[in-house]
Chains A and B, each alone.
Chain A
Amino acid sequence: MAKITPDNKSVVVRFAGDSGDGVQLLGSQFAESTALAGSDFATFPDFPAEIRAPVGTTFGVSAFQINLGARRISTAGDQPDVLVALNPAALKVNLPALPKGALIILNTDAFNARNFSKANIETDPRETGELKDYQVVEIAISTQTLEAVKPVGLSKSDAEQCKNFWALGAVLWMFGRDRGPIKDWATKKFAKKAPEILAGNLAALDAGHAFAETAELSAEIPQFEIGPAPMEAGEYRSITGAEALSLGLAAAGELADREVIFCGYPITPASSILHHLSRMGDLGVATFQAEDEIAACCAAIGASYGGKIGVTSSSGPGIALKTEAIGLATAVELPLVIINSQRGGPSTGLPTKTEQSDLYQAVYGRNADTPLPVIAAAGPGDCFDAAIEATRIALRHMTPVFLLTDGYIANAAGPWELPDMDDFEPILHGTPPTPKGDPTELKRAIWNRDPSSLGRPWIAPGMEGLAHRIGGLEKDIATGDISYDADNHQAMSELRANKVEAVAEFIPDQIVEQGPTKGPLAVVGWGSTHGAIHRAVFVAREQGYDVAQIHLRYLNPLPKNLKRLLAGYDKIILPEMNMGQCATLLRDKLGLDVISLTKVSGQPFKISELEDTIKEHAPATLKKAAE
């Protein structure tokens, strides 16, 4: 069969199986091979909330989707062109998402009465005709795997565990990818711990590859040709949001020349940041797993008080618990970085599903008037810069800062151009005063705020001659002594508000990412919707729609030019994965009404959904131009 070169130069592949089938490893290694071939890609792991759901059930299905292209790729793709289903439940769950004509590769060994019953399937879907619109390739993957690894002498269950490598081998052949780097990786991972498992996996990998290549099936298994994507010259690696964020925090510590102390408590989907950072001791990062979310936040503030960069992280429910402590950090003017890996809510909600759920919580969610800066990361690689920026703001203004990310960004991966660390400015903070003899003069020096940032000097216990007391009671604006004075409270409240507003003086003007700087229509987004919006606007523009794309990093305060910029468009569409929180924010802060496009299905926006909305709201003149 001739190699298929898709018209849009991209293919979406979805691997699905039981949560114990090694689907995530299969997907991530395929992504690695894509990266090394120079194609662009974006991945989206989709795993169940249950750790080991009963084998064969629909709620135990784990999936990994990758969109790979010889063009720039901005999302993991709307619909899979290829589905690899390792059991009937995986087929059942994913079939509705497939477009007609999609290629389905099935592991026929798993298609038996036992698995049908576990997945609540009455009749074998291969016999009901429900697969007639698809191109189905049936392979006895388990049997083939057992056969291939027999010489290694593994137990039957260990041998069958190698089937993900077998499938990987077959898929690598389909895409004409090299097996070498994957073998190297596997050797590094398994050679010492489990040499037999390594041997089994390598045998399975080769067997899958050979099977696809040599079998008469080669007529049946299509081959895809996805070449390198046009990308800027530079060094690249694959990175997930959680990894990039962790490295970004380490980089912030390096730029500030301070150690980072990260205090967390396990919660999905934020825990991966704790895991990554706990291996970065040599980068000046220490991690502390606290007894609860509150303690994690308090310990991070304690670390900041002690002169280290205190960072805490959680997801919505955990952030709610930290709220009182965050207010204290504002009151005592200590730096703190709070990372919220957002997920669906309210309450426990949808722990593994993504949602931009907590913008209100970040901007407004504290007792009293307690403003604080809020920024959001737009994608996996961007988490690196966002972490540096959040730390920079925290130290410059001596304030807690919210960094919003979400489950999608945390787990998704894509190629990332490695930054040059020399391009980053050092992170600065207010330097401690020299001790004054007179106690009142000393107090004034301790609370002497920088006139432009309103940040105070960062003074840690142990510094000679600067002993002073801080606390959550309202303090005198000049001396820091407890003060219940009415005018002083007014002045302190204004100071806290002005301090956050002052951040706007240091951040860049809002730019237009694509399209005109004024015109009939703009799509404004924030956070992880970036990829889908970028692609949808790109496609619409190719079709002749003169639409602009604007993506917000700074949510509080907003960039100073934003109001004027947005006023230059007749209509603004704001897609977000919540019930319209950023739309409310823009109405509140800018007095601006937008067309709010909301989605809370636990899944990211599809590009097609956004394209449809752009076309629906495009003014008649634009539509005409497009025709």
Chain B
Amino acid sequence: MNAPLTAKDFATDQEVRWCPGCGDYAILKCVQKTLADVGAVPDNTVFVSGIGCSSRFPYYMNTYGFHTIHGRAPAFATGLKLANPELDVWLVTGDGDGLSIGGNHLLHVLRRNLNLQIMLFNNEIYGLTKGQYSPTSRAGTRSPSTPAGSIDAPLNPCSFALGANARFIARGIDTDARNLSPVLKAAREFKGAAFVEIFQNCIVYNKDIFEDFVAKKTAKETQIHVEHGKPLLFADGTNGLKLNPQTLALEVVVVGDGGVPEAEVLVHDETNRSIAQMLINLPTEGYPMPLGVIYRDPSDPAFDDAFWAAQTTKGKRTAKVADALRKASVWKKA
């Protein structure tokens, strides 16, 4: 038997061309290591991307890869998975590619529940076209196309995914491989469309836009790593999220001495859509950023499986065209 592959085996000979310090480097490393850890087979793995900085990703993965056109990667991935459902397909997209020009395709790949992993690198800006505001940019974002500040309300990617009936929704941070890697593993194991929003730092056009919750020093207080079946605690268990039955909203509470007993803290149930809805839409001010697997509902079949199951002959050629041509009234001329 060959020696197990390492992260290095998943790297190509191509020179990586992201800006020095770009969050994409960390994600690339994390993905390469994760694939090595789970024993992925490079020949059976495909990275499909659209257009944008994130979409250069396939060139750097020593697997099969397809760098397609702007926004349409989900549609290419759909055709590919229908052609060969056995493939392990990863889709790499960004906030512009996936939610602006490609919003329609992202909506439908999630709704259909195609069996693949979608990594949406959210940096709240258009990087490759030099810094215009994106559909996730906060209102007031000053950019070359919005010198007086953007005026439209941003989209929350995970909220979009939930609305599109995604069955797996997770979040991670580019430089936090320790927490991102398990999320990617879970996404890969999930039978269906697994949507992972990765907060990615564009150091040139939107530097440190997520610093308020990414900063390592304050991470304990500003992040909450959710886990199925465990209470929603953060800040070393001193704080938690409690459901207020009057407002049907989550509240930050102090747990233990001087606060509420831990039993009053909401226990995360990743199959509960309402909890997912509340976590995804937590206000940013005064609340921690929920990370990890927020929602997972494995009860629906994956589209590629259902597609072939619905075909009468399961995709196999069982009849001959010569016979099919004669399935009509046929007459002979002597």
Point out the residue from B45, B320, B321, B334 that lies within 8 Å of A233, measured CB to CB. Answer: B334
Alpha-carbon separation in the docked complex, A298 to B322 (Å):
31
Q: How far is the CA of A259 from the CA of B13 in the complex (A)?
A: 34
B243 on interface, CB distance cutoff 8 Å: no
Is B59 among interface residues, defined by CB-CB distance under 8 A?
A: yes
Would you list which residues of chain A between 306 and 331 have a CB under 8 Å from chain B?
A: 306-308, 310, 324-325, 328
Instruction: Give the residue of B79, B328, B331 whose beta carbon is less than 8 angstroms from that of A261.
Output: B79
* Known A231-B333, A461-B80, A471-B59: A283·B43 in contact at CB below 8 Å: no
The interface residues of chain A lying within 8 Å CB-to-CB of B328 are 237-239
Q: Is the CB of A462 within 8 A of B43?
A: yes
- B64–A468 CB distance below 8 A: yes
Segment at the interface with A among B19-27, B194-202, B279-287, B308-316? B308-316
Q: Are B313 and A303 in contact (CB under 8 A)?
A: no
B178 on the A face (CB < 8 A): no
Given contacts A325-B69, A469-B65, A473-B67, contact A36 B329 (CB under 8 A): yes
A308 to B313, Cβ gap below 8 A? no
Assess the B75–A290 pair: CB atoms within 8 A. Answer: yes
Q: What is the 8 Å Cβ interface bit string for chain B, positions 80-124, against chain A (1 contact, 0 not)?
A: 111110110000000000000000110110000000000000000
Separation in Å of the A291 CB from the closest CB of chain B? 4
Known: A291-B104, A328-B69, A418-B330. A302 touches B79 (CB 8 A): yes
Q: Mark A256-288, 1 if CB is under 8 A from B, else 0.
A: 000101010000000000000000111110101
The answer to whether B68 and A471 have CB atoms under 8 Å apart is: yes
Q: Which A residues, 334 to 369, have Cβ-Cβ distances below 8 Å to chain B?
A: none
Question: Nearest Cβ distance between residue A120 and chain B, in whole angstroms?
Answer: 41
**A302 lies within 8 A of B78 (CB):** yes
- Is A236 an interface residue when CB atoms closer than 8 A count as contact? yes
Count how many chain A residues have C-beta atoms less than 8 Å from C-beta atoms of the other chain.
75
Expressed in whole angstroms, the Cα–Cα distance for A370 and B67 within the complex equals 18
Contacting pair A282 B313 (CB below 8 A): yes
Contacts of A181 in B (CB 8 A): 329
State whether A237 touches B320 (Cβ < 8 A).
no
| B79 A303 Cβ-Cβ under 8 A | yes
Q: Is the CB of A284 within 8 A of B317?
A: yes
A250-B324 in contact (CB<8A): yes
B284-334, CB < 8 A from A: 307-308, 311-313, 315-322, 324-326, 328-334
Main secondary structure of the interface of B (DSSP, over half): mixed
Are B331 and A301 interface neighbours, CB within 8 A? no
In the complex, whether B12 has a CB less than 8 A from a CB of chain A is yes
Q: Which residues of chain B have C-beta atoms less than 8 A from A332's C-beta?
A: 66
Cβ of A300 within 8 Å of any chain B Cβ, yes or no, is: yes
Q: Min CB distance, B44 to chain A, in Å?
A: 6
Give the complex CA separation of A460 and B80 in angstroms.
9
The chain B residue with its CB closest to the CB of A236 is B331
B328's closest neighbor in chain A, by CB?
Answer: A237
The answer to whether B326 and A302 have CB atoms under 8 Å apart is no
In the bound complex, do residue A469 and residue B67 qualify as a contact, i.e. CB atoms below 8 Å apart? Answer: yes
Q: Select one of B12, B104, B320 contacting A421, CB under 8 A.
A: B320
Known: A231-B333, A464-B43, A482-B59. A302 touches B325 (CB 8 A): no
Given A32-B329, A283-B324, A469:B59 Cβ within 8 A: yes
Contact A306 B79 (CB under 8 A): yes
Q: Check: A439 CB closer than 8 A to any chain B CB.
A: yes
Contact present for A305 and B59 (CB under 8 Å): no
Known A-B contacts A283-B324, A288-B307; the reply to A259 vs B317 at CB < 8 A is yes
Q: Let me know if A461 and B64 touch, CB within 8 A.
A: yes
Q: Which residues of chain B from 178 to 197 have any CB-CB distance to chain A below 8 Å in the complex?
A: none
Known contacts A283-B324, A295-B72, A470-B65; is A302 also within 8 Å of B77 by CB?
yes
Specify which chain B residues have a CB less than 8 angstroms from the CB of A619 in the assembled complex.
Answer: none
The answer, among A261, A284, A299, for a CB contact under 8 Å with B76, is A299
Contact of B13 among A263, A297, A439 (CB under 8 A): A439
Q: How far is the CA of A392 from the CA of B64 in the complex (A)?
A: 26
- The answer to whether A251 has its CB under 8 Å from any CB of chain B is yes
Q: Which residues on A sit within 8 Å (CB–CB) of B308?
A: 286
Q: How far is the CA of A468 from the CA of B329 in the complex (A)?
A: 50
How many Å lie between the Cα of A35 and that of B64 in the bound state? 53
A465 to B43, CA, bound (A): 6
Q: Which residues of B contact A129 (CB under 8 A)?
A: none
A324 and B61 CA atoms in complex are apart in Å by 25
- Report if A466 contacts B (CB, 8 A): yes
Residue of B nearest to A259 (CB): B315
B69 to chain A, nearest CB (A): 5
Q: Once bound together, how far apart are the Cα atoms of A465 and B79, in whole Å?
A: 22
Number of interface residues, chain B, beta carbon within 8 A: 62
Q: Quick check: is A467 within 8 A (CB to CB) of the other chain?
A: yes
Partner of A291, one of B63, B108, B315: B108
Which chain B residue shows the least CB distance to A327? B69
Interface residues of B in 139-154 (CB under 8 A from A): none
Beta-carbon nearest neighbor of B51 in chain A: A472
**Across the two chains, which residue of chain B brings its CB closest to A310?**
B79
B46: chain A residues within 8 A (beta carbon): 461
B54 within 8 A of A: no
Contacts of A394 in B (CB 8 A): none
User: A457 within 8 Å of B by Cβ?
Assistant: no
Provide the residues of chain B in CB contact with A303, threshold 8 Å.
Answer: 79-80, 82-83
> CB < 8 Å: which of A234, A259, A295, A472 contacts B108?
A295
| Given A233-B334, A235-B332, A470-B66, A302-B321 contact (CB < 8 Å) | no
On chain B, the residues within 8 Å of A469 by CB distance are 12, 58-59, 61, 64-67
Q: Does B14 contact A (CB under 8 A)?
A: yes
The residues of B that contact A280 with a CB separation of less than 8 Å are 324
Check B333–A38 contact: CB distance below 8 A: yes
Q: For chain A residues 422-479, which have a beta carbon within 8 Å of chain B?
A: 439, 460-473
Q: Which residue of A lies closest to B49 (CB)?
A: A471
Contacts of B331 on A, CB cut-off 8 Å?
A: 35-36, 38, 235-237
Query: Quick check: is A389 within 8 A (CB to CB) of the other chain?
Result: no
> Contact: A288 with B79, CB < 8 Å?
yes
Cβ of B34 within 8 Å of any chain A Cβ, yes or no, is no
- Which residues on B sit within 8 Å (CB–CB) of A418? 325-326, 330
Interface string of B30-62 (1 = CB under 8 A from A): 000000000000111110100100000011011
Shortest B229–chain A CB gap in Å is 36
Task: Please name the residue on chain B nearest to A302 by beta carbon.
Answer: B79
Q: Is A253 an interface residue (CB 8 A)?
A: yes
Contact across chains for A251 and B321 when beta carbons are under 8 A apart: yes
Q: Given A283-B324, A299-B76, A299-B79, A461 and B44 touching (CB < 8 A)?
A: yes
Q: In angstroms, how far is the closest chain A Cβ from the Cβ of B325?
A: 5
Chain B hits for A237, CB < 8 A: 325-326, 328-331
Can you name the residue of chain A whose Cβ is closest to the Cβ of B73?
Answer: A298
Give complex CA distance A324, B326 in Å: 39
Contact A302 B76 (CB under 8 A): yes
B12 to chain A: which residues have CB within 8 Å?
469
Known: A251-B321, A254-B320, A283-B319. 5 other contacts (CB 8 A): A235-B332, A286-B308, A299-B78, A302-B66, A461-B46
Mark B residues whose CB is within 8 Å of A.
12-14, 42-46, 48, 51, 58-59, 61-69, 72, 74-84, 86-87, 104-105, 107-108, 307-308, 311-313, 315-322, 324-326, 328-334
User: What are some 12 contacts across the A-B interface (CB < 8 A)?
Assistant: A36-B329, A185-B329, A237-B328, A247-B325, A259-B315, A280-B324, A282-B317, A291-B105, A302-B83, A306-B83, A469-B64, A482-B59
